[in-house]
Structure formats: structure tokens, C-alpha cells
Chains A and B, each alone.
Chain A
Amino acid sequence: MAVKAQAQPLASRQASVGTLRQVLAPIGQIFVFVVGSSLILGAIVLVLALLLSRTQANLLSGVLTVLPLVIIDGLVLGFLYATIALGYTLVYGVLEFINFAHGEIYMVGAFVGGGLGLWLASQGLLAAMHPLLFVVFALLVAMTASGLLAVGIERFAYRPLRNAPRLVPLISAIGVSLVLQDLVRLLAGPSRFNLRYPQLGLSRRFQLLEIPTAAGANLRVAIDSQSLIFIVTSLLMLIALNYLINVTKLGKAIRAVAQDRATASLMGINVNLIIAMTFFIGGALGGGAGVLFGVKYSTVNPYIGFIAGLKAFTAAVLGGIGNITGAMVGGIVLGLLEAFVSTYLTLFTGGRFSGPDYASVASFLILIGILIFRPSGLLGEATTQKV
């Protein structure tokens, strides 16, 4: 972080506009992908429904009724994967190393947030708190804890292996991930294996739109407050990350280290510190995702990190690994896809195939397909910024 401060000209209005554009442009890209993939998936589902409605009556109206819900579910899932994927992509961008234990860092974040909630509830403080205040507080604590955990892991399990052959740190990372799973299980004890988040009383639903239907009753599309918190918070985290990477000096140093470690260190950048900071940022984002997951789905257990981590990695590869916006976009596309498969596979096959189980199969097939046909990911080589 010791990039010598240069005598910089005062930031002109033009520069700040450029900065703003740089920070906000990914939001536009994400919006395009959200709308685009919802439309495409929705269209596919509608065509299938039309084809199948000859044999199954009422299918079309059933499909249409759940469609908005599926999209909201998919978005929540997508932002979850996206926020975790950011950690993978940051670390990969800097070290070219898959931090296999990142899923467990997310899980630890979820447990820290839940533990905090339980503690506050036992002290009687939770009732006095506004639910949103609790969410912010839990986010801050869990993000700090997960970030520090990630830094510690890097220091003790990865740094000694930095010059070893590629597969060696990966194996160590697998070890870390297993150890974390069981350590959390041991610390939580059997009674809190399934840790329940406290009831926050966030029962308000926000009505988005009302669609008149032929049947008479209007179809109301509403979003629950947990989902709203989830989406808004992760968008804020993305904007903050973008600002950090593209505008601040720390971000510049991170980009320099990602580009060329040796040269960066010649320029006076403390490479070890920057790598540790990268792990901190990635870990903090993962921990934040954990708390959001806990708030939304209310139960967490020590094994949630594994599959979520795998999916998030898929998302990172899908968007183009090393690319921050790509990780977000990949996560959202994957989340929407899973939500669609898990709902509509069950619906279309009349329950003969259980959708939620095959959703995972679908996302792994997507991973394999992407790796075969477009290993550089959705956002492609041309726009790939290495972190």
C-alpha cells in the first residue's frame, strides 16, 4: 500500500464524471443481464408451457402465476452467488489460485451473524433494536470476522506454499475447508448445528405491480423485505467494491499486484500486504453474503458453504474469472437459471423429476459447457479487466 503519493493535479470535474461512470457502469451491465436472462428464460418457459398445455390443462396459467416469484427467488439466489463469487474472482485475479476455502468463509460469516443475533437476543437487546439496525450491525461484525479469518488462512495455509506447484496450495485449501466445517460444527455443538437466526419481524411485503387477469382476481407481485434487503445490500457492496478497486489507491495497488507481482514490488508496493488485503476484502464480502443468507433463509448449518462455494465458483467462471462485473453477472445468470429449473422442471414433468435436485446438475452442466465452449466466460476476453 506504499504507493508513493505523487503530486496529483486537482481532480477536475471531468475526472470525477469519469470515476462515476467507472463505478456505476457495472450496475448498468448487471441490469442488462438481469432483464435479458429473465426475458430469455421466461420466453423459453412460456414456449414450453404452450407446447405442453395441449396435454396438461391449466399449465399455462400456473406457469404465469409463479413466474414473478421465480424471478425474485432467482435474483436473490443470484445475488448470493454473485457476492460469494466476488471473493473467488478477487483472489484468482491476484494470485491465480482457487481459494477453495472461500465457501467456508461465507459459512463462518453466517454463523457469526447468527451467533451475534442469539447473543443480542439473550441480552434482551434485540427487541430494542430496529431490525435494519441489527442487519447492519451483524453485517459489520460478520464481515470483519470473515475478513480476518481469510487473512489468517492466507497467512498460515497459503503463503508458505506460494511458490509451490499450482496444485499444492489447492490441496491445502481443501484441507482448510474441511477443517473449518468441522471446527464450526464443534464450536456450535449439536444443539446449534442448525443455527436459527432470530425472528426480526421483517414481515412487510412491498407490492411491485398488479397484473389484471382474465380469471378476475388480480395477480399481485410483491417482494418480501428480506429479499429486498438482500438485493439492495449486495448491490451496495458491489458499488463499494467497484469504487475501491477502480478509484482508491489501494485498488490501484491491488490491480498492480494482479498484473505483475514482481514489478509491483519494485514500485514500492508491499505485495504481501496487498495480497492480505485482497483476502480481507474477499472474505468480508463472503461473510456479508453469509449474514444476508441467514436473514433471508433463517437457518444455517456448517455445511452450507460447500455447495454454495461450488456454485459461486461456477458463477465466477461463467462471468469470466478475474473479472468483478463478470462474477456478478455470472452469479445472477446462474441463480435465475437454478430458480427456473427447480420450479419448472417439477411443474412440467408433473412432479416426476424433483426440480431442486436437478438444478444443481443443471448448473454443473453449465459449468462444463462454459469451460468447453467459452472458457473466457460471458463477458469475454475483450472486456476482461484483471481485477
Chain B
Amino acid sequence: MSTSQQSPALGSTLRERLAASLGQGVTPYVVVVGYVVIASFWLISNPFSTIAFLVFLSSLLAIYYFPIPTWLRVALGLIVLGGVMPYVGNLNQGFLDVVTQAAIFVALALGLNVVVGFAGLLDLGYIAFFAIGAYLWAIFSTPQAANIFPGLAASFPLGSAWFFVFLILGVVAAGLFGVLLGLPVLRLRGDYLAIVTLGFGEVIRLLANNLNRPVNITGGAQGITNIGQPPLFFQPALDALNVQSSPGAEYRMYFYALALVIVLITIMSARRLNDSRVGRAWTAIREDETAAIAMGVPLVRMKLLAFAAGATFAGAMGVLYAAKLRFISPPTFDVVQSISILAMVILGGMGSIPGAVLGATLITLLNLRILPDFANQLVLWRRAGLPIPANFDPVQYQRLFFGLVLILVTIFRPEGLLPERRRRAELKAEGSKDTGEALVQDEQNMVHPDVGIK
């Protein structure tokens, strides 16, 4: 704490100086509001430009980064996500889909962040919980369920009103599977856990692929089509207001809103979890298991809680995902997906909530927008005569990019793009020459609770 007050000029980097000058007086207000306004108008006037879209999305980063009061953050966030984005979505559906998709992955990354980042348990089969949620809704909202319960065949498929019930059921089922998987393996060392979860992910995918015989439950390799959509409960209101819109556009906006609401809930619950007693236990386990046991942290129970809590996020998003796409099949849930979510968490910074949001958004954008655009660019360059191999299509090489992200981030920026406060402090203390000073500071910053017998 003391260093930042005593010497902003002394030996500070350009970045620190810039941050200091932008963080004083009315400057941040002007910069952020100006940025949001300019980016919004640019995107509205160019609704098909990917660059304008990226600049517009990064305004959220500006809102997060600059030191402005919370009410302004909330207001600007509402304007960006609740006002401008839906408006742009009417002009260009593609961008709204991208943001919805990004929101789904943000929720998944947040869930995995609870497991990997907060508690330090490496889960390589995370997508399995997503699959459980997705298949749950897919099976019960289609005639598929009649195969399982032939006696109740008449009552399936379930009506759209059940969607919200299944959102909750997805959470419960995923959490239950998390506990079932966690119970046997959480006593083991971390790297064994990684391999077992990887195996679990494969088992769930294999089961989804093969449970069409002898009883057709999952539809096998063909997957399940015509999955039910959520109820349009606001339709009467729209009719009363005389709003004309196609069902397609309506659903698109609806899913956008639903995904945002779920993301908000996940962000809030992740934050509350991290700051809670449980969250502190997770941090203790992550930092030093033996010390945590010595301090009386119930190890297995806490790990199980982290595992299950992370799984629930994926379960809810799985239900939403199935309803949005209306079609699911086993390849959607293969191991590369699990690892891409891991890459999101690692890229953003393990344990950091804003990091998970940023990482998920970046990688989704990379997949859906940047790589396809890059591929088109490559085609143009190749026509112009540049030596680019004819079979190189970047969209087909996601694994290459995810792999490079994982390697480069772990070697060169292990704390991620938006590091968690504790980890940043830790790495700084390690990096500074005078470690002793950092330690002393740590000691000073520590709040000493009243200990001892009174």
C-alpha cells in the first residue's frame, strides 16, 4: 500500500504514469463516457464491421478498468448491454448471436473458475456437466422421453412452461453428478483428479453417443433435434403494445436477455462464494493443502462443494444452450470443448472473475469472428500471390490456437490477463528484488483478528 502513495513518479513505468494521470479528477468520467458514446455510434453506423464490434465490446473493459463510481458503471453497463447491443442486434443478428454465445461461455468459464481458480482442482471434463444439463432438457422436451417412460408416453414432450423448472433441475442434476464423481476422486492428488475428470468427460460423451440402444435415450450419434424452446410469457404484453416482430428475432432477443441474466447471477454468486467463509477455505486449500487441514478446514467436504458448485453453473447453461440451438449431438461435448473452457480461465487469470469473463469473451470472439475473418483475409492474400499453404484454414485449427494460448500463457504470463489480486501480489513479491520489503508490507496489511482466550 505504502509504495503507491510515496512515489508514483519514482521509477514508475509509462503504464503506471498513464494510469495515474487518467485516474484523477473528472478525466476517467470523460474518457469512459466518451469512449462508450463514440464506440456505440461507430457500431450503429457500421453494424457489419467486426472491428467496430470489437471496439464496442472493449468499452465494457474500459468501464471495468477506470476508477469511476459503481452507479456509473452499472448505468453504462446497462446502456451498452441493455440498450445499444439489442439495437445493433436488430441491424445485424450475427453480432447478437456472438454475444449470446459468448455469454454462455462466460458462465461456463465462471463455473470452471470456481473449481480450477478458487479451489485449485484441475477439472478436464467440465463439459460433461454442460452435456448433462443440455441432454436433460433435450430428452424431456422432445418425444425422446417417451422411450424411457413408456407408461407416461402421452405426457411427453413436456410443454415449454417446464423450461424454467428444468433450468433448476439442470443445476441440481449437474451438482449431483459433481458430487458423485467427486466423492471417490477428491481424496486423490491433483493430477490424478485431472485424468479422472478427463475420463469422466469421455464416458459421458460415449454414453451420449451410444445410449440409443437398446432403449433410445440420447438419440445416439444423430443427436436430438427439435428441442423445446422457453415460453414466450411476454407475448401478450408485446401484442398489447402492438410490437411487430418475427418469432425468430423475438427468440434471439429473448435468449440474449436470458443468457445475460444467468451470467449476472453467476457473476454475483461467484463473487459471493469467493468472499464467503467457503471461499476462504478454498483459497486455503489451493495455497497449501496441509496447512489448510491443520487449520481445521474440512478438506474433502470443501473440495466437493467447489466441484459441485462449479458443475451447477454448467448444468444451467446446458439447459439454455439446448433450448437455444434446438439441436444437440455428442461432438459438441468432446474434450476439446472442455479444454477450450480451461483455456478461457487460464487466459483471463485463474481465480479472477473479471478474468474469466474476459477470457471467455476473447476466445469466443476468436472462434466465431476473428478466425473466420482471418481465414477470409488469408484467401485474399493467397489470391494476391502470397505463399500461404492452400489447405490452411485457421477455422479448422482451433486446437492449435487453444494449445498455443495454454503454452504461451503458462510460460510467459502465468497470472493471466486480468489477474486476481492475491495472485498478482504474490507474483509481484516474487519478482521484486527486495522480497523482504514485500513480506513486511504483507505483514502490515494483514488484519490481525483478536486471537487468544479472553
Contact = CB atoms under 8 A, between A and B. Distances in A.
Contacts of B391: 186, 189-190
A52 interface: no
Nearest to A180: B403
A369 to B, nearest CB: 9
Contacts of B397: 182, 185-186
Contact of B203 (A177, A178, A364, A375): A364
A180 B194 CA distance: 20
A250 B454 CA distance: 63
Q: A178, A313, A375: which has the most chain B beta carbons within 10 Å?
A: A178
A168 B335 CA distance: 19
Interface string A313-349: 1100100000000000000000000000000000001
B346 to A, nearest CB: 6
A183 interface: yes
A3 interface: no
Contacts of B120: 167
Interface stretch (B26-34, B43-51, B83-91, B404-412): B404-412
Contacts of B198: 310
Interface stretch (A39-47, A286-294, A352-360): A352-360
Contact of A371 (B188, B336, B389, B402): B188
B331 to A, nearest CB: 12
Contact of B206 (A167, A306, A361, A371): A361
A368 B184 contact: yes
A231 interface: no
B400 A186 contact: yes
A352 B214 contact: yes
A367 B406 contact: no
Contacts of B402: 175, 178
A175 B405 contact: yes
B190 interface: yes
Contacts of B195: 98, 310, 313-314, 317, 367
Contact of A372 (B184, B335, B404, B406): B184
Given A171-B342, A361-B207, A166 B191 contact: yes
Interface in A155-183: 157, 160-161, 164, 166-172, 174-183
Contact of B196 (A164, A170, A185, A371): A371
Contacts of A182: 397, 399-400, 403
B122 A354 contact: no
Contacts of A349: 214
Contacts of A306: 335
Contacts of B392: 186
B407 A175 contact: yes
A353 B213 contact: yes
B414 interface: yes
Contacts of B185: 368, 371-372
A357 B190 CA distance: 28
A368 B410 contact: no
Nearest to A354: B210
A139 to B, nearest CB: 28
A368 B200 CA distance: 9
Nearest to A307: B202
B403 A179 contact: yes
B411 to A, nearest CB: 5
Nearest to B392: A186
Contacts of B210: 353-354, 357-358
B339 interface: yes
Given A170-B122, A186-B392, A160 B188 contact: no
Contacts of B336: 178
Contact of B411 (A157, A307, A313, A354): A157
A175 B411 CA distance: 11
B131 interface: no
Max chain A C-beta neighbours (<10 A), residue from B124, B196, B199, B400: B199
Given A182-B399, A364-B203, A172 B410 contact: yes
B207 A175 contact: no
B404 A175 contact: yes
B192 interface: yes
Given A182-B400, A310-B199, A352-B213, A98 B406 contact: no
Contacts of A161: 410-411
A181 B406 CA distance: 14
Nearest to B345: A171
A368 B404 CA distance: 31
Contacts of A157: 407, 411
Interface in B197-253: 198-200, 202-203, 206-207, 209-210, 213-214
Interface in A278-314: 306-307, 310, 313-314
Interface string A84-100: 00000000000001100
A190 B392 CA distance: 10
B403 A178 contact: yes
A364 B411 contact: no
Nearest to B398: A182
Given A352-B214, A368-B196, A372-B184, A174 B399 contact: no
Given A306-B335, A358-B210, A170 B194 contact: yes
Nearest to A363: B199
A161 B214 CA distance: 49
B407 A179 contact: yes
B202 A364 contact: yes
Interface in A353-387: 353-354, 357-358, 360-361, 364-365, 367-368, 371-372, 375
Given A358-B210, A364-B199, 9 more contacts: A160-B411, A174-B403, A186-B397, A310-B195, A357-B209, A357-B210, A360-B203, A361-B206, A364-B200
5 contacts: A157-B407, A174-B342, A175-B407, A182-B400, A358-B206
Interface of B: 116, 120, 122, 124, 184-185, 188, 190-192, 194-196, 198-200, 202-203, 206-207, 209-210, 213-214, 335-336, 339, 342, 346, 389, 391-392, 397, 399-400, 402-407, 410-411, 414
